[in-house]
Structures are given as C-alpha cells and as structure tokens.
Amino acid sequence: MAELEKDEVEVKEEKKETASEKRSPAERTAEKEELKQELDSVYLALGQKFYKACGVTNGKRPTEVPRASLFNDQIAEIGKIKSKYDAIVAEELAEKGLKACPECENEVVLKSLFCNMCGFKFPVKTEEKPKPAPAKPKCKFCGAELEPGSAFCAECGKKQV
C-alpha cells in the first residue's frame, strides 16, 4: 500500500515538472514551502531511524554508531528534495540577474567568475567552436588547390608525390 502511494506521489511530481517552465512567484513560494515540509519529515525519519539504530535504551549512551549505509534511502531522498528546492531558488535568482555561490550561498551577479565572499571560482561555460574544415591540399609545384586524393595537379599537370 505504501509503495502505491509513493508511485502516486512520483506521478504527481512528474506532472509538476512537465508543467510550464514559468511559474508565478506565488507558485514557487508555495512549492518551496511544500519542499521544506517534505524535507523536515525526511530529516525527522532519518533522526528516528538513527536513534533506533544506535540502540539507545533507558537514556543510556549507545555502544556503537550505526553504519551510514543504513540511511541511504533517506540521504537520497534529501538530495532529491534539495535539488528541486535549489532549482526553484536558482530560477528566482536568475530573474534578478543573480546566482548563488555553491560554497557559501552568497548571491552574486550572474556574470561573476568568482564569489566576492569566499573566492569560489565558478565554472566557465565554454561554447564549442565549430572546427574549421580541413584545408585542401596544395600543389607542391605551383601552389594551386588540389582535390583530395588527386595524383596530378589540374593547373600545372605535375604529378604529386
């Protein structure tokens, strides 16, 4: 039953993502609040699972710390929620001509190469330039352009070695 509900939620989320890219500020704010609540519930579940895994009983300290792999599901869910939230924030900032530094979360101008608070270097987006067409071969005797694979020059008639 829980898996069915999970699938329904995923289908709803996919519909949200495929909806028009432009969202009103009110829609973005509502979605961010929803994501914050979802994130809080995942953090709560993670904390409860950790507490139980530690084997804390009667207020006594745990004897060992549980393996991190026990929490992979919650950690993955937190990453998904945070990336959706960050995308909304990035959209809002871009409308203002800003972007957030991934290191310190400072807001900087979109064209900035470095963060003015922590010095983080933003990756430079390089546009792939089309490679120029290879130059046609030239006659070794008169310098005229040759067709690729030509054995003789069409201008001077000399054999190309």
Tokens of 28: 């973005």
Strand partners, 121: 114
Q: Does residue 60 have a pLDDT over 80?
A: no
Give the model's pLDDT for residue 11.
Answer: 43
Mean of all residue pLDDT scores within the chain = 82
The residue among 37 and 150 whose pLDDT is bigger is: 37
Q: Would you state the pLDDT for residue 23?
A: 81
Q: Is the pLDDT of residue 2 over 50?
A: no
The model carries a pTM of 0.56
Q: In which band, very low, low, confident or very high, does the pLDDT at 39 lie, cut at 50, 70 and 90?
A: very high
Residue 81 has pLDDT above 50, yes or no: yes
Residue 7 has a pLDDT of 46
Q: What is the pLDDT of residues 97-118, one digit of tens each?
A: 999 998 998 999 999 999 999 9
pLDDT in tens, 14-33: 444 444 357 888 999 999 99
Three-state SS across 32-79?
HHHHHHHHHHHHHHHHHHHHHHHCCCCCCCCCCCCCHHHHHHHHHHHH
Say which residues have a Cβ less than 8 Å from residue 52's Cβ, sequence separation at least 6. Answer: none
Confidence label for 76 from pLDDT (cuts 50, 70 and 90): very high
β-pairing, 98-100 vs 107-109, is: antiparallel
